[in-house]
């Protein structure tokens, strides 16, 4: 990598530091009202304005990085372009990386290459100079990419985990301080690796620690069985649970700070044969809401969905199984809503993102506060836009559809296997077809699949075990399809990060009549207007299903057929796939089976 001179700051005679908010507004990326909101939030939390506008979902991190890089004359690089030296990783100070927002990469010809989020910050430059006695060659990364570098090289990249360090020093059950350190380390190691769930699973001779990363459980450092009860007790104390009660399930919450981030954890404890099994769901309050495009949504679809956020009333639904990213998609859409001039409120379980100017309420069934009770109360609060975490029953469905009819924009999730399945599901919940026809704006069905690691994936060659199956599914045109390999960056899995595979049904004049007819159908394949007729009408109107989007992403080398099949059943895949025979017949057969069930 070529040496790049250090940037000049206003203090040493360089150009004045750019006003990022003004420049974003000048480029049409930020409105005046959004800038005022961000400035107000900056006074409250005392963070850089660039970070705030990204966390609020107003702009993408790459947008702010480009403006700064243009002024400083420094290149922006991705984590895949950086190969840290083992020597650097051995002495990597995580605290320094967090404070300076800079990642040292390598020493070459007596110069240290360092990747920085904000090279115009003189304090960050000073911290790096104090830690490394070398001239600096600076490149830029976004804040998200800095986090990616930390996750990558804290697992298998030369940086030992805190759990391993504590266990290596020896443990004693009587040492309360060390037990507390170990309990915290189990959580922090998982969060630093990007885990969404932390599992503590006692067995006969040891306790397994596993982290759900990119939707898949991965094993971590196991704990000696003799200390596992003490660790679980410490976690229960942090969650304010009864440590003496070991025969019944318990639920609690823990709030903690990890590397400067405020993190909430939902803790579930369940009795097991060899002890108490613990699962902690990680809710990162400061992670920000990723834009629709960063979730893997097709840019054309993202633009169509963004226009829905400007609608004055109507119902927008996101469907899919648990863990498919439905709430994240809703919040990505919610970030497009003008929350300054419109009253935006949510009813959730739990509240997963903290967003300024949005009134967020969490249901609590223990006190009789469910979704329909919350929605009933919320409708008395003069809302313009309402996010309902989940439509679970007839009462919530009825209230949500009436709210959409009476001048509110309602965003909600629904558990169905695909987008078109939301219509018979709502009708089953008592929503009349003629009302649904008038109020439904769109339905998005989605799954989350793991994304191939860009550093180690290779083109899918004829000799590979997946080649023949993929070629048949893609009708002979494999495009840029790739295969997973595995490296230290992806912890040997071959995948790094996730993206959404999605389908979006936008009712039009051609398809709305079939929504009404669905309420008169006797089953999914009814010849006079059941779900199959709606499906055929949608396909004729340009609807592209999940299988089509999955094939597009496999052909583009973003994921693999094996990964698609991990989250899809073969009958859900469209195209000329021999996995499920004729696509139309397979989907019809699947619909008939669901109708029979």
Tokens of 101: 């927002």
Q: For 531-575, how does the pLDDT look when each residue is reduced to its tens digit (9 = 90+)?
A: 457 888 898 888 988 888 999 999 999 999 999 998 887 655 555
Q: What is the DSSP letter of 107?
A: E
Tokens of 573: 């895949």
Residue 114: strand, helix, or coil:
strand
List residues bridging with 256 in a β-sheet.
Answer: 263
Q: Which CATH number fits domain 292-447+500-521+532-543: 3.40.50.720, 3.40.50.12500, 3.40.50.920, 3.40.50.300?
A: 3.40.50.300
| Backbone angles phi and psi of 114, in degrees to 5 | -135, 135
How many other β-carbons are positioned within 10 Å of the β-carbon of residue 314? 18
Residue pair 89/159 in contact (Cβ under 8 Å)? The answer is yes
- Give the Cα-Cα-Cα angle 428, 432, 433 (nearest 5 degrees): 95
Judged against a pLDDT cut of 80, whether residue 593 lies above it is answered with no
- d(C-alpha 389, C-alpha 512), whole Å: 26
Q: Which of 27-31, 66-70, 115-119, 514-518 has the lowest mean pLDDT?
A: 514-518
Work out whether strand 206-213 and strand 197-202 pair parallel, antiparallel, or are unpaired: antiparallel
Q: Please state, in angstroms and rounded to a whole number, the distance separating the CA atoms of residues 507 and 515.
A: 9
Contact 365, 378 (CB under 8 A): no
Taking CA atoms, 206 is separated from 9, 182, 224, 230, 298, in Å, by: 55, 15, 5, 13, 45
**C-alpha R_g of the chain:** 26
pLDDT band at 286; cut points 50, 70, 90: low
Q: What pLDDT, in 10s, does the model give residues 479-493?
A: 999 999 988 778 788
d(CA 111, CA 132) in angstroms, rounded, equals: 10
Q: Please, are residues 418 and 385 in contact by the beta-carbon 8 Å criterion? A: no
What's this model's pTM, rounded to 2 decimal places? 0.76
Name the residue ranges covered by the structural domains of the chain.
Answer: 18-56, 60-154, 162-284, 292-447+500-521+532-543, 454-493+546-582
Instruction: Please give the pLDDT value at position 298.
Output: 82
Nearest-CA neighbor of 527 among 31, 147, 536?
Answer: 536
The Cα-based distances of 524 to 73, 237, 287 in angstroms read 60, 51, 41
- Check residue 300 and report its DSSP letter: H
CATH topology of domain 162-284: Beta-Lactamase (3.30.450)
Check residue 7 and report its DSSP letter. Answer: P
- How does DSSP classify residue 76? B
Smallest Cα–Cα separation from 97: which of 138, 150, 46?
A: 150
Furthest CA-CA distance within the chain: 78
What's the rounded Cα separation, in Å, for the pair 433 and 427? 7
Cα–Cα distance, 201 to 208 (Å, whole number): 5
pLDDT tens across 240-274, in order? Answer: 999 999 999 999 999 988 877 788 899 999 999 98
For residues 421 and 591, give the distance between their C-alpha atoms in angstroms, rounded to a whole number.
9
How far apart CA 276 and CA 229 sit, in angstroms, is 8
Nearest to 454 by CA among 62, 60, 117, 81: 81
User: Average pLDDT of 143-172?
Assistant: 71
Average pLDDT over residues 225-249: 91
Q: How far, in Å, CA of 95 to CA of 102, rounded?
A: 10
Which region among 165-174, 217-226, 387-396 has the lowest average model confidence (pLDDT)? 165-174
Classify 207 as helix, strand or coil: strand
CA 303 and chain centroid, separation: 19
Q: Where are the alpha helices (DSSP H) in 453-530?
A: 467-473, 512-518
Phi, psi dihedral angles at 553 (to 5 degrees): -75, -35
Residue 363 has pLDDT above 50, yes or no: yes
Give the pLDDT band (50/70/90) at residue 154. low
CATH code, residues 60-154: 3.30.300.160
Question: What percent of the chain lies above the pLDDT cut of 90?
Answer: 33
What string of DSSP letters covers 341-382?
TS-EEEEESS-----TTEEEEE-BGGGTB-HHHHHHHHTTS-
Do domains 60-154 and 292-447+500-521+532-543 share one topology? The answer is no
Mean pLDDT of the chain: 83
Mapping DSSP to helix (H, G, I), strand (E, B) and coil, where does residue 502 land?
A: strand
pLDDT > 70? residue 7: no
CB 210, CB 154: distance < 8 Å = no
Give yes or no for residue 522 having a pLDDT over 50: no
Q: Taking a C-beta distance cutoff of 8 angstroms, is the pair 348, 362 a contact?
A: yes
Residue 440: HSE in the Cβ half-sphere, 13 Å Cα cutoff: 32
pLDDT mean over 316-342: 88
Residue 1 exposed, middle or buried by CB count within 10 Å (0-12, 13-18, 19+): middle
Residue 239 to residue 497: CA distance in whole angstroms: 30
DSSP 3-state helix, strand, coil percentages of the chain (rounded to 5)? 40, 20, 40
In this structure, the number of other CB atoms found within 10 A of the CB of residue 306 comes to: 17
d(CA 518, CA 31) in angstroms, rounded, equals 42
């Amino acid at each position: 990598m070529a040496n790049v001179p250090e940037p000049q700051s206003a203090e040493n005679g360089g150009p004045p530091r750019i006003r990022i908010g003004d420049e974003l507004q000048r480029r049409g990326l930020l409105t005046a009202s959004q800038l005022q909101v961000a400035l107000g939030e900056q006074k409250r939390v005392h963070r850089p304005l660039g970070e705030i506008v990204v966390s609020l979902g107003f702009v993408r991190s790459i947008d702010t990085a480009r403006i700064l890089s243009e002024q400083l004359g420094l290149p922006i690089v991705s984590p895949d372009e950086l190969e840290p030296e083992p020597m650097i990783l051995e002495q990597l100070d995580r605290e320094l990386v967090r404070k300076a927002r800079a990642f040292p990469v390598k020493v070459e010809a007596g110069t240290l290459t360092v990747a920085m989020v904000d090279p115009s910050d003189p304090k960050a430059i000073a911290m790096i100079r104090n830690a490394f006695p070398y001239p600096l060659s600076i490149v830029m990364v976004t804040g998200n990419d800095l986090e990616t570098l930390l996750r990558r090289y804290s697992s298998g990249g030369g940086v030992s985990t805190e759990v391993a360090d504590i266990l290596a020093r020896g443990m004693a059950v009587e040492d309360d301080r060390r037990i507390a350190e170990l309990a915290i380390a189990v959580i922090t190691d998982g969060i630093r690796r990007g885990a969404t769930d932390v599992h503590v699973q006692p067995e006969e001779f040891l306790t397994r620690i596993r982290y759900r990363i990119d939707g898949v459980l991965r094993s971590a450092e196991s704990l000696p069985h003799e200390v596992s009860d003490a660790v679980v007790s410490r976690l229960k104390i942090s969650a304010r649970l009864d440590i003496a009660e070991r025969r019944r399930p318990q639920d609690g919450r823990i709030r903690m700070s990890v590397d400067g981030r405020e993190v909430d954890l939902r803790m579930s404890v369940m009795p097991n044969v060899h002890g108490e099994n613990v699962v902690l769901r990680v809710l990162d309050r400061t992670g920000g809401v990723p834009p629709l495009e960063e979730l893997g949504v097709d840019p054309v679809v993202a633009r169509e969905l963004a226009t829905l956020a400007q609608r004055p009333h109507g119902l927008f639904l996101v469907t899919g199984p648990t863990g498919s990213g439905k709430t994240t998609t809703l919040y990505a859409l919610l970030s497009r809503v003008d929350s300054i001039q419109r009253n935006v409120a949510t009813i959730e379980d739990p509240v997963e993102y903290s967003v300024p100017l949005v009134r967020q309420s969490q249901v609590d069934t223990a006190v009789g506060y469910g979704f329909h009770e919350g929605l009933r109360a919320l409708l008395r609060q003069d809302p313009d836009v309402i996010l309902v975490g989940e439509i679970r029953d007839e009462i919530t469905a009825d209230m949500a559809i009436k709210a959409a009819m009476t001048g509110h924009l309602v965003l909600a999730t629904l558990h169905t296997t695909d987008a078109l399945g939301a219509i018979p599901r709502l009708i089953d919940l008592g929503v009349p077809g003629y009302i649904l026809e008038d109020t439904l704006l769109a339905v998005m069905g989605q799954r989350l699949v793991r994304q191939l690691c860009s550093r180690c994936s290779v083109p899918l060659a004829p000799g590979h075990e997946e080649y023949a199956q993929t070629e048949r599914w893609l009708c002979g045109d494999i495009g840029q399809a790739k295969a997973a390999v595995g490296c230290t960056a992806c912890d040997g899995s071959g995948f790094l990060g996730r993206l959404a595979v999605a389908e979006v049904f936008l009712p039009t004049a051609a398809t709305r009549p079939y929504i009404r007819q669905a309420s008169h159908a006797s089953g999914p394949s009814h010849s006079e207007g059941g779900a199959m007729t709606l499906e055929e009408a949608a396909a004729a109107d340009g609807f592209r299903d999940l299988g089509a989007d999955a094939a597009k992403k496999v052909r583009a080398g973003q994921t693999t057929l094996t990964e698609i099949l991990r989250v899809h059943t073969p009958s859900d895949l469209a195209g000329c796939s021999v996995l499920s025979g004729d696509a139309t017949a397979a989907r019809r057969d699947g619909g008939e089976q669901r109708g029979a069930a």
